[in-house]
């Protein structure tokens, strides 16, 4: 299915998008798409805390 250029050109002229033609080709020829999730590397960040914020957090902790 959709092996020749002429078949794909006819579909394009009929108004079918290139993405849809790709899907039809994959489904019609029983291909399986295997995708791996992206690898996310966790990072540890050192975020400086200003002195006012520390005093505020300590005061909140004492009230709780």
Q: What is the pLDDT of residues 14-26, one digit of tens each?
A: 999 988 988 888 8
Residue boundaries of the structural domains of the chain? 1-33
Phi, psi of 56 (to 5 degrees): -65, -45
Exposed (0-12), middle (13-18) or buried (19+): which is 52, by Cβ within 10 Å? exposed
Total count of residues recorded for the chain: 64
31: which 2 tokens?
């291909």
- Mind listing the pLDDT tens digit for each residue in 3-61? 788 988 898 999 999 889 888 888 888 888 777 777 777 666 666 666 666 666 666 66
- In the chain, which ranges are continuous DSSP H helix? 5-13, 18-28, 51-63
Q: The whole model's pTM is what?
A: 0.47
């Amino acid at each position: 299915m959709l092996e020749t250029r002429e078949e794909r050109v006819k579909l394009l002229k009929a108004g079918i998008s290139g993405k849809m033609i790709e899907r039809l080709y994959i489904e019609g020829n029983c291909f399986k798409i295997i995708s791996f999730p992206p690898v996310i590397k966790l990072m540890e960040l050192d975020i400086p805390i200003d002195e006012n914020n520390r005093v505020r957090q300590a005061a909140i902790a004492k009230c709780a």
